[in-house]
Amino acid sequence: MSVSDVLSRIDRDELIALTRDLVRIPSVVRPGDPEATEAAVAAHVERWLRAEGFAVEVHEVAPGRPNVLGAIGDGRGGPTLLLEGHTDVVTEGDAREWTHPPFGGDVVDGRLYGRGSADMKGGLAAAMVAAAAIARAGAPLGGRLVVGALVDEEGDMLGARHLCTSVLGRELSAAIICEPEQNELCLEQRGVVWARVTVRGRMAHGAMPEAGVNPISAVGALIREAPALERRLRRLCRRTPHLRPPTVTPTIAQAPVQGVPQSNVIPSAAQLTLDVRLTPGPDADAVAKEIDVACQRVMDACPGATVQWQPVNGYRLATRVERGEPLVRAMVRGVRQVTGRAPRFGGVPGSTDGTILRTTLGIPIVTCGPGDRLIPHQVDEHVEIDQLLEAARIYTASALNFLEV
């Protein structure tokens, strides 16, 4: 059976309908609200995969927050390839700012609109339809193909972390991360460390600052240290054509850390979070050392203040896979089979579930999916339907190539 036989089974209207169904089930996670989780959309994915004859596993990651995994083929005789998507979406913000309702799934002028249409219910639907086309065709597989719909990518990536601890997760050989990258093959992803820096001073009256140590002044010094930290990290990290160089961006400033803010009180402590983005190269220790240097310089400049930091959610270092990886070769061939041209290569500006799979399991990942790279989290998020269909076809061809008998 040829790849084009299987590709001919992918139905554009079915793909549009499935994407629309997923968009219409809101899955903004609102902590504290047990109704606002991925549960409903995960249940839809589960039903759909079961109806297509997939072997389905549901892993309860947290209450009301299940990972859904559906497999075809046999993992005992060959590799296991994961097509990965996440079921959570970010908030729609103010729905009145949207031209098309955020959970409507409107189709207008070749685009499907709605929160998650690009990030990434479109990519998830494309993965589901791609795997189903292979199943329906009865195409022989020299291994196993798994579609994974994971929770909490937009939060702490609990779904991906959980998958890495499961039996199925440990059996994975490679993964395609179906995030919106306009169907480019992204072999690199920037890493992230959220450095939460706590400055302790000494509480005092605002009218007598000499009686205390003001931690807010030290936060100011830390903000002024950020460009130097950024320069040092840029020297440490590799330059790559597809990724922006490292950046250090202050994102959360808070004082006091506890208690009531008062205009005439110097607080005892303040916090600043630095959003540190990395390209491949240094390990966690090397990055930590540079952040330590920044903290030490602030202490030197602000006598009496103590400065400590810790990573929020650990280190998610940049990832990279080589062009020679069998998964990359299978996808390069897949793109040629589908589009008749060589693939475009790209890079992921942030981290994804793939970061966790790559760094925890050590497996090769390629990020490739439908949707403009800049559209996620915006008002009037949408996905081009032609790109959606192209993604489903790329996944099908790439999976058949990777799992060739």
Q: Could you tell me the sign of the dihedral formed by the alpha carbons of 352, 383, 345, 347, in that order?
A: negative
CB contact at 8 A, 144 and 70? no
Q: Least distance to Zn ion from the beta carbon of 89, Å? A: 8
In the complex, minimum distance from the CB of residue 275 to Zn ion, in angstroms, rounded to a whole number: 17
Q: Does 118 bind Zn ion (CB under 5 A)?
A: no
> Which one, 22 or 120, has the nearer CB to Zn ion?
120
Q: Residue 379 Cβ, how far from Zn ion at the closest point, in Å?
A: 17
CB of 113 to Zn ion, least distance (A): 17
DSSP assignment string, 322-351 = -TTSHHHHHHHHHHHHHHSSPPPEEEESS-
The sign of the dihedral angle between the CA atoms of 308, 313, 314, 318 is negative
Distance CA 141, CA 308 (A): 53
Q: Which is nearer to Zn ion, 74 or 156 (by Cβ)?
A: 156
In the complex, minimum distance from the CB of residue 106 to Zn ion, in angstroms, rounded to a whole number: 21
> Residue 217 or residue 355: which is nearer to Zn ion going by CB?
355
Q: How far is the CB of 390 from Zn ion (least distance, A)?
A: 18
Class of residue 147 by CB neighbours under 10 A (exposed 0-12, middle 13-18, buried 19+): buried
Nearer to Zn ion, 113 or 309 (CB): 113
Among 22, 82, 120, 356, binds Zn ion (CB under 5 A): 120
**Closer residue to Zn ion, CB minimum distance, 175 or 400:** 175
Nearer to Zn ion (CB atom), residue 72 or residue 177: 177
**Rounded to the nearest whole angstrom, what is the least distance from the CB of residue 181 to Zn ion in the complex?**
10
Angle among Cα 186, 189, 194 to the nearest 5 degrees reads 160
Instruction: Report d(CA 326, CA 341) in Å as an integer.
Output: 19
End-to-end CA distance of the chain: 11
DSSP 348-370: ESS--HHHHIIIII---EEE--S
- Does residue 103 contact residue 93 with C-beta atoms inside 8 Å? no
Span of 173-181, 203-211, 254-262, 264-272 interacting with Zn ion by CB under 5 A: 173-181
Candidates 46, 52, 119, 390; binder of Zn ion (CB under 5 A) is 119
The total number of residues shown for the chain amounts to: 405
Q: Which stretch binds Zn ion (CB under 5 A): 30-38, 117-125, 216-224, 232-240?
A: 117-125
Q: x/- contact string, 62-101, with Zn ion (CB under 5 A)?
A: ----------------------------------------
The residue whose Cβ lies closest to Zn ion is 119
Considering only residues 175 to 194 of the shown chain, the ones binding Zn ion according to CB under 5 A are: 179
Identity of the residue, 189 or 198, whose beta carbon is nearer to Zn ion in the bound complex = 189
Cβ–Cβ < 8 Å for 106, 354: no
Q: How is the beta sheet containing 111-113 ordered, strand by strand?
A: 107-108, 111-113, 382-384
- The H or E element that residue 156 is part of is none
Judged by beta carbon, residue 120 or residue 327, the one nearer Zn ion is: 120
Minimum separation from the CB atom of position 63 to Zn ion (A): 22
Cβ distance to Zn ion smaller for residue 67 or 401: 67
Backbone angles phi, psi at 84, to 5 degrees: -110, 135
Smallest gap, in angstroms, from Cβ of residue 302 to Zn ion? 39
How many residues bind Zn ion (CB under 5 A)? The answer is 3
How are beta strands 269-278 and 247-254 bridged, if at all?
A: antiparallel
Residues at the interface with Zn ion (CB under 5 A):
119-120, 179
